[in-house]
Amino acid sequence: MEGTRVRQKLVVGNWKMHGSLEANGGLLKAVAAGAGALQPVQLAVCAPFPYLAQCQSLLAGSPVQWGAQDVSAEARGAFTGEVAASMLAEFGCQFVIVGHSERRTYHAEQDSVIATKALRALEHGVTPIVCVGETLAQREAGQTEQVVGRQLQALLDALSVEQLGRIVVAYEPVWAIGTGKTASSAQAQDVHAYLRGLVASRDAGVAQRMQILYGGSVKPESAGELFGMPDIDGGLIGGASLKAEDFLAIGAAGRA
Ligand SMILES: O=C[C@H](O)COP(=O)(O)O
């Protein structure tokens, strides 16, 4: 997309189901200590629910934001095991990941549920990071735009322009997650530009401001080239976010 770059870089760690009080303690302190030097790149970590209090405590006063990895589509009630957006907001979560491919695959989450989860988060001032991405079979069948377009369209249908202006999108090709296979910067840029164009068909200003992150085997060595692309505004980082040195190096790549 043409135009002056107006978007701050955002690098978010998705710890997935990893961590312990002890391991997190060292990681959070190291990330907090290194984050200030990376500004204006914004760092955040998305931790398993039991560790949100630890994030709240150890990241207080640091520029690092934190969040969760899922939220209920329901506001409250008899939904055993679910966590409501209001609860995340009470802990000070700034972000919540919704629609990660692991949730879509292992928990059969559909586009409509994911859009509702994003709405619940927005209702409580928590920024949803909405994940979209195609499988290898879909890419090889030439269906990438069709798949990510359908996934994003559910958001465009469910959210007002004002709400759309408060989400973050993460493009994560399923075939690149945890596999060591990063999409090339050109492949990722093509999809990011396509997604931004779809948002622009709803509202050009929102599209220009929307942060679209790339996720899938991002490492310190690959981050610079990816983040240098015009429509890639940072990353959603899995494995490499568990080592402070790597996570901070990826954040530093956003400053270039
Ligand atoms: O949410 C993060 C992505 O699933 C990427 O994970 P990864 O960096 O381990 O490939």
Q: Across-strand partners of 12?
A: 44, 236
- Name the active-site residue from 109, 134, 172, 192: 172
Position 2 scores a pLDDT of 43
Position 64 scores a pLDDT of 98
**How would you classify residue 223: left for phi > 0, otherwise alpha for psi between -120 and 50, otherwise beta?**
alpha
CA gap 77, 72 in Å, rounded: 11
Position 182 scores a pLDDT of 82
Q: Using most ligand atoms within 8 A of CB, pick from 10, 14, 46 the residue to mutate for ligand 1.
A: 14
Position 256 scores a pLDDT of 80
Residue 210 backbone phi and psi in degrees, to 5: -70, 130
Question: Quick check: 126 and 85 in contact, CB under 8 A?
Answer: yes
**Alpha-carbon distance values, 38 to 223, 230, 253 (Å):** 14, 20, 9
CA gap 105, 174 in Å, rounded: 10
Residues with CB under 6 A from ligand 1: 14, 100, 172, 177-178, 215-218, 236-240
Examine the residue annotation and report whether 100 is marked as an active-site residue of this protein. Answer: yes
- d(CA 216, ligand 1 centre) in Å: 5
- d(CA 198, ligand 1 centre) in Å: 24
CA gap 47, 111 in Å, rounded: 23
Examine the residue annotation and report whether 172 is marked as an active-site residue of this protein. Answer: yes
Q: Which atom of ligand 1 is nearest to the CA of 240?
A: 8
CA gap 203, 97 in Å, rounded: 23
Nearest to 15 by CA among 87, 61, 59, 66: 66
pTM of this prediction?
0.96
Position 138 scores a pLDDT of 95
Structure tokens at 34: 């290194």
- d(CA 178, ligand 1 centre) in Å: 6
Question: Quick check: 12 and 236 in contact, CB under 8 A?
Answer: yes
Residue 187 backbone phi and psi in degrees, to 5: -60, -45
Pairing mode, strands 234-237 and 168-171: unpaired
Structure tokens at 247: 């996570």
- d(CA 41, ligand 1 centre) in Å: 19
Nearest to 44 by CA among 132, 163, 165, 127: 127
- d(CA 231, ligand 1 centre) in Å: 19
Question: Quick check: 235 and 38 in contact, CB under 8 A?
Answer: no
Neighbours of 219 (CB within 10 A): 16
Position 180 scores a pLDDT of 84
Residue 188 backbone phi and psi in degrees, to 5: -65, -45
Q: Which atom of ligand 1 is nearest to the CA of 239?
A: 9
CA gap 110, 99 in Å, rounded: 8
Position 3 scores a pLDDT of 46
CATH entry 3.20.20.70 includes domain 10-253: yes
pLDDT per residue of the chain (256 residues) written in tens, 0 to 9: 444 568 999 999 999 999 999 999 999 999 999 999 999 999 999 999 999 999 999 999 999 999 999 999 999 999 999 999 999 999 899 999 999 999 999 999 999 999 999 999 999 999 999 999 999 999 999 999 999 999 999 999 999 999 999 999 999 999 998 888 888 999 999 999 999 999 999 999 999 999 999 999 999 999 999 999 999 999 999 999 999 999 999 999 999 8
Q: Using most ligand atoms within 8 A of CB, pick from 104, 106, 177 the residue to mutate for ligand 1.
A: 177
Q: Can you tell me which residue has the tokens 């979560």? A: 93
- d(CA 123, ligand 1 centre) in Å: 27
- Name the active-site residue from 82, 100, 124, 192: 100
Instruction: Name the residue ranges covered by the structural domains of the chain.
Output: 10-253
Q: Using most ligand atoms within 8 A of CB, pick from 96, 169, 237, 241 the residue to mutate for ligand 1.
A: 237
> ipTM score here?
0.98
Q: Can you tell me which residue has the tokens 């499988």? A: 135
Q: Which atom of ligand 1 is nearest to the CA of 178?
A: 10
